Amino acid sequence: MPLALLTYALGLGERKRHFPAPQPLQKRYDVLIIGAGGHGLACAYHLAKDHGITKTIVIDKGYLGGGNTARNTTIVRANYLTEEGTAFYKESLALFENLSQELDLNTMYSKRGHLTLAHTDAALRTARWRAEVNKHLGVRSEVVGRHELRKICPQLNLSDEVRFPVLGALYHAPGAIARHDAVAWGYARAAYRRGVEILQNTEATGFQVERGRVVGVRTSRGTITAAKVVQAVAGHSSVLAHKLGIRLPIRTVPLQACVSQPYQPFLDPIVVSGSLHVYISQSARGEFVMGGATDPAELYDTRSTLEFKEQLMMHILELFPQLANANLLRQWAGLADMTPDFSPVMGKTPVKNYYIDAGWGTWGFKATPVCGKRMAECVATDKTPALLKPFALSRFDDFDLVGEKGAASVGH
């Protein structure tokens, strides 16, 4: 037994708090961030680190990192379809690769390679399109045939004796997975160290508005005054923005996932099939992490359903028949904030001093570092960074959408 575990069990030795105890509230903050998920915390960290703004408070109605950040299946990739999307996620990948050093916490970032299987000619065409856009922007992506696929992922069932035989795939070598909790905790701790306050179990219930500007947030612990306010609340985005009269292009839909019990290392790459609506990877713990597309209707409830698991397993077993006897260990859901174009909404809103970070649907974990960095820049300078411009809320009034459905509807 390791010594540390033994001393802990015997109650010896000093127990260090991971995060400091909450302090009494200050009179006024420079920035208040609603939502202590990865996005809110990363924004707080970059406000402090890049812009010297440390009088920041992050509030969460639950616990830190307990929303979609805790529920996601941690796929990190940059092989998107649009130039705007690819450039944005490419920067996030670069930040992710260095994140453990940056935050002084092991995020267990593990480059696995990411395969998007094609079972139809149409899917192969989309793969080719994505590969060309990606290569043009310096992101490693290529279309591979069955022969190469067999080398990259020998475990995959390439037989023709299935309902939807695999024809080829889009291969994205930098595709990775990471430890989601470590990302949230790492940003939280690094933000704390720079003076940021984090207040859990505190729900934003309304706003104080004076002459069209937000000046404070009403919370379950009273009103907190702040010069600028950011909302980063994922599936609850519409409900919160509604209190300010802001309409969002968002539908809240559950996204379910599950893991098997741990097994010996078996599967290196992340395997996604857009046509079969499933994806799978094997975590560092040996669990098979599996999921698919969102539920069929809007819902503010994180229940799990049998339909989801039946659909999922039917197709997973076609791709990996070896898993037929694997046992499921856990299942859960998160509330995905889905947009019509499968792209996020970031930046300014019609209300002064109020900034939004939403529309992350099923794809926002990988964007945590870049979104935190660029949202911080937007809030600190009150100017929209070039990388965020295509994702403004106003794009829906301008009919100027950033269509990412072909690259984001299943492969999160």
Partner 1 sequence: MPCPIHGERNIAEFFCKGPVLSMPNATRGTRQQWARYLFLAENKAGIVDEWWLHSPSSLWFVARRDTTSDEILQTWTIEAYRTQQQKKTTPKATPKATSKTTTR
Ligand X SMILES: Cc1cc2nc3c(=O)[nH]c(=O)nc-3n(C[C@H](O)[C@H](O)[C@H](O)COP(=O)(O)OP(=O)(O)OC[C@H]3O[C@@H](n4cnc5c(N)ncnc54)[C@H](O)[C@@H]3O)c2cc1C
Query: Which of partner 1, ligand X, none lies near 286, with the C-beta cut-off 5 to 8 A by kind?
Result: none
Q: How far is the CB of 208 from partner 1 (least distance, A)?
A: 9
Q: Where are the beta strands (DSSP E) in 297-388?
A: 328-338, 345-348, 354-358
Query: Which of ligand X, partner 1, none lies near 334, with the C-beta cut-off 5 to 8 A by kind?
Result: ligand X
> Under the criterion CB under 8 A, does residue 389 sit at the interface with partner 1?
no
Among all chains, which residue has been given the structure tokens 């984090």? 198
Question: Is residue 408 within 8 Å of residue 361, measured between CB atoms?
Answer: yes
Question: Is residue 349 within 8 Å of residue 34, measured between CB atoms?
Answer: no
> Under the criterion CB under 8 A, does residue 332 sit at the interface with partner 1?
no
Name the residue among 173, 172, 200 with its Cα closest to residue 184: 200
Residue closer to partner 1, measured from CB, 244 or 380: 244
Q: How far is the CB of 187 from ligand X (least distance, A)?
A: 10
- CA-CA distance, 180 to 64, in Å (whole number)? 12
Q: How far is the CB of 350 from partner 1 (least distance, A)?
A: 5
Query: Which of partner 1, ligand X, none lies near 300, with the C-beta cut-off 5 to 8 A by kind?
Result: partner 1
- CA-CA distance, 241 to 252, in Å (whole number)? 13
Q: How far is the CB of 247 from ligand X (least distance, A)?
A: 17
Residue closer to partner 1, measured from CB, 110 or 311: 311
Size of residue set near partner 1 by CB under 8 A: 31
Residue closer to ligand X, measured from CB, 124 or 198: 198
Residue 55 CB neighbour total at 10 angstroms: 17
- CA-CA distance, 319 to 326, in Å (whole number)? 14
> Under the criterion CB under 8 A, does residue 212 sit at the interface with partner 1?
yes
Question: Is residue 172 within 8 Å of residue 113, measured between CB atoms?
Answer: yes
| Pair of tokens at residue 135 | 């290569």
Q: How far is the CB of 217 from partner 1 (least distance, A)?
A: 12
Query: Which of partner 1, ligand X, none lies near 298, with the C-beta cut-off 5 to 8 A by kind?
Result: partner 1
Q: Applying CB under 8 A, which part among 61-69, 121-129, 235-243, 277-285 lies near partner 1?
A: 235-243
Name the residue among 195, 187, 217, 104 with its Cα closest to residue 375: 187
Among 242, 330, 383, 389, binds partner 1 (CB under 8 A): 242
- Region of 45 (left: φ > 0; alpha: ψ -120 to 50; beta: rest) is alpha
| Pair of tokens at residue 95 | 């930040």
Q: Are strands 222-231 and 354-358 parallel, antiparallel or unpaired?
A: parallel
| 75-76, strands of its sheet edge to edge | 75-76, 176-177, 110-111
Give the footprint of ligand X on this chain (CB under 6 A): 34-40, 59-62, 66-69, 71-75, 203-204, 232-234, 236, 240, 255, 257, 291, 334, 336, 360, 362-366, 412
- CA-CA distance, 65 to 60, in Å (whole number)? 9
- CA-CA distance, 49 to 93, in Å (whole number)? 19
Per-residue mark of binding to partner 1, 307-326 (x: CB under 8 A):
x-------------------
> Under the criterion CB under 8 A, does residue 244 sit at the interface with partner 1?
yes
- CA-CA distance, 22 to 9, in Å (whole number)? 27
Residue closer to ligand X, measured from CB, 120 or 201: 201
Among 146, 285, 340, 389, binds partner 1 (CB under 8 A): 340
- CA-CA distance, 334 to 66, in Å (whole number)? 10
Q: How far is the CB of 366 from ligand X (least distance, A)?
A: 4
- CA-CA distance, 79 to 37, in Å (whole number)? 24
Query: Which of partner 1, ligand X, none lies near 75, with the C-beta cut-off 5 to 8 A by kind?
Result: ligand X
> Under the criterion CB under 8 A, does residue 300 sit at the interface with partner 1?
yes
Q: How far is the CB of 408 from ligand X (least distance, A)?
A: 9
> Under the criterion CB under 8 A, does residue 351 sit at the interface with partner 1?
yes
- Per CB under 8 A, residues contacting partner 1 are 206-207, 209, 212, 238-239, 242-252, 296-301, 303, 307, 340, 350-351, 396-397, 399
